[in-house]
Structure 1
Amino acid sequence: MTKAIKLLNALPPPQRQRLMSLAKEVSFPEDTRIFEAGGRADRFWVIRSGAVSLDQRVNSLHRVTVASLGSGDLLGWSWLFPPHEWDFGAEAFSPVRAYEFDAAEVLRLCEEDPQLGIVLVRSVAEILAHRLEMTRGKLMEQYTSQRRRAL
């Protein structure tokens, strides 16, 4: 399994500085819902400290955690792709401090600096590929354990 890519570390220093000029420091108390699946995705975060769980609602009473994110991780990528709606929900598992980025401002900056745009999209794609690989591994583990119990 490949190592998780950290968005800010993936950017060359000049592009990182330009992106960070748009950062706003925010915090979320433990157990705060940061966003819900289907909601408008108009921003993203880079976690500075704490832990966030990404979840999928199974029914009205139950959510399944699909990923846990921590320091340096990107939280939110749905802002980059139409229809700009969150695919998962996110909740602060502990107190969280993060850099928040307004999607419209970041996209404007990417138009002004195409190299930033290319590096940012490439980095987000690598992050998505890594998370897909991790999710596939979790599904295989669940399938294998269910098959063992059935036998």
Structure 2
Amino acid sequence: MPLAREVSFATGERIFNEGGSANRFWIIRTGTVVLDLHVPGRRAAVIATLGPGELLGWSWLIPPRHWHLGAEAGSPVRAYEFDAAAVLEMCGKDPVLKHALYVYVAGVIADRLRATRTRLLDLYVPYGAGPVP
């Protein structure tokens, strides 16, 4: 938390765009953030909505450090913002912190992948098509 900076985003404000440079992350304090995926020729597909206590952004941890999704404030947001380079530097000095952070972020990634799969099935599999393998 010594590296945290309090920030806020207005409803509808873009926090980051898919493909942009991922150099920070946030812990949401209040409000909601919508994660979306660019779909050529269509509106962006909403993948998930994040709320208080959730991590926003994990792409900063894995090279080439570009956002895999986009993010927009779904309501007024207050969050703690962290500079990724400073956190990575701190992890370089503290292997216990580094391990705990990587385990936590890996869990977040796994949860988001499961949620994304479910959301995409809801969007693209015809209703009543039978069980999905």
The alignment's TM-score, normalised by the length of structure 2, stands at 0.91
For 1:60 and 1:100, the matched residues in 2 are separated by 33
Structure 2: gaps (5+ residues): none
Size of the aligned set, in residue pairs, is: 129
Deviations 1:71-99 (A, max 9, x none): 01100001001111001100000000000
For 1:116 and 1:67, the matched residues in 2 are separated by 28
For 2:93 and 2:34, the matched residues in 1 are separated by 33
Q: Tell me which protein shows more helix as a share of its residues.
A: 1
Summarize the Cα distance change of 1:63–1:141 in structure 2 as closer, same or farther, 3 Å threshold: closer
Identity %: 52
Aligned to 2:89: 108
Aligned residues: CA RMSD: 1.5
Deviations 1:29-62 (A, max 9, x none): 1000000011000000000000000001113651
Aligned to 2:21: 40
Give the Å deviation of 1:123. Answer: 0.2
For 1:34 and 1:145, the matched residues in 2 are separated by 33
The answer as to 2:45 corresponding to 1:64 is: yes
SS in 2 for 1:145: coil
Counterpart of 2:33, as a letter, is V
The alignment's TM-score, normalised by the length of structure 1, stands at 0.80
Give the Å deviation of 1:139. Answer: 3.0
Give the Å deviation of 1:25. Answer: 0.3
